[in-house]
Amino acid sequence: MEGFCLADSVGKEIYAGSRNRLYYSSDFGQSWTHLGDLPKVTLIRQIVPISRGTIFINSSKGTYGEAFLSTDSGRTFCVCLPSTGAGNCAYFDSEKHTLFAASEKPFNLMRSEDSGFTWIPDGSKLDSINDPHVCSLLVSDGSFGRTFYISTSSPARIYCRAEREDEWRKCFTDPLKVWNRELPLITKWGKQLVACVASGPHGSLEKIYLSDNDGANWRGIICPFNIWGAGVNASDPKTMWVGNYGTWLKTKDTIALQYTQDEGRTWHSIPNCGAQYFWQLQVLADSTLYAATDFGLMRVKLNSPAFLRRGLVGG
């Protein structure tokens, strides 16, 4: 399972995708209802509820993404954007009822003001040198206004643009010469930006980067393990969760989830959270973490390390 969405602030209502199948739970994941299937064999990477009955889904097949829209609560879907990034590449502004999505062809930020039915470019087209793959989109509201960030792989870079500007600029490039499979995450942690370079077996020592000045400068966190995904709670300035790139032998006792409370100086392992990939991590205000993994959707409490598997299993 690669994608899920918590539809409220406490995690009671959950949308989750297992390959191309969409599920819904209204009881913290204790029971699930199968809503419908995407019309193509693909992997659901991101689920964005737009309004009552309308759901936007970003999916992927390999390194490329495609977006679908449902107006009947997930029973049927149609393609609404044929070229997106293969990750968390959409953002919905509920106040302005505006949906943003990062696309690859054209390599640009797209905007929809009618729930995803029609799209127009937002800002200028990005640099398409080396055919980069879009991995994630972050929309950050700060004291100087709104800023858009798009992360890519091949090479691992982050582009940014203020809402009042038209041109994009590169604000991060992975300094290593090693080719990176993905740069799956850019997120906001308090006043800091977090860039996470997924490494697999060929990564560097510095795999998580922090910026205190909106991406102008970055400093690396040393990780003693290969990582695949990171989760932060914007209201908690201490704790960062990281999915350890697990063993190819899929066993429950694989130590594959770790956290730090001192920006990487020391790391703590959560046992019995076996998974090979942690595709998506989301942390709530009470330090509860939800993780979409190749074993299924998991829930972990920082003060109670035992994980709870939540009904869906699948890669």
Residue 1 domain flag: no
Choose among 284, 281, 236: nearest CA to 263. 236
Specify the residue for token string 């090979």: 276
Residue 122 domain flag: yes
Distances from the Cα of 17 to the Cαs of 47, 126, 130, 134, 307, in angstroms? 8, 30, 31, 20, 20
185 within 8 A of 194, measured Cβ to Cβ: yes
Whole-number pLDDT of residue 199: 58
Residue 66 domain flag: no
- Domains: count for the chain: 1
159 within 8 A of 149, measured Cβ to Cβ: yes
Q: 253 is written with which tokens?
A: 């006792």
Domain hosting 272: range is: 86-309
Whole-number pLDDT of residue 264: 85
Specify the residue for token string 């001192």: 262
CA–CA gap between residue 12 and residue 41 (Å, rounded)? 29
Residue 273 domain flag: yes
Distances from the Cα of 173 to the Cαs of 68, 177, 214, 217, 223, in angstroms? 31, 11, 14, 11, 19
What CATH number does residue 150 fall under? Answer: 2.130.10.10
Residue 38 domain flag: no
Residue 18 domain flag: no
180 within 8 A of 225, measured Cβ to Cβ: no
Choose among 61, 100, 53: nearest CA to 81. 100
Residue 137 domain flag: yes
239 within 8 A of 287, measured Cβ to Cβ: yes
CA–CA gap between residue 131 and residue 157 (Å, rounded)? 12
pLDDT, averaged per 10 consecutive residues of the chain (315 residues), comes to: 84 90 92 92 91 92 86 94 88 94 89 94 77 85 86 82 89 65 72 77 67 89 77 80 66 67 85 72 83 83 56 43
The DSSP string of 204-262 is -SEEEEEESSTTSS-EEEE-SS-EEEEEE-TT-SS-EEEEE---SS--TT---EEEESS
The structure's pTM equals 0.87
Residue 31 domain flag: no
Three-state SS for 93-147 is ECCCCEEEEEEECCEEEEEECCCCCCCEECCCCCCCCCCCEEEEEEEEEECCEEE
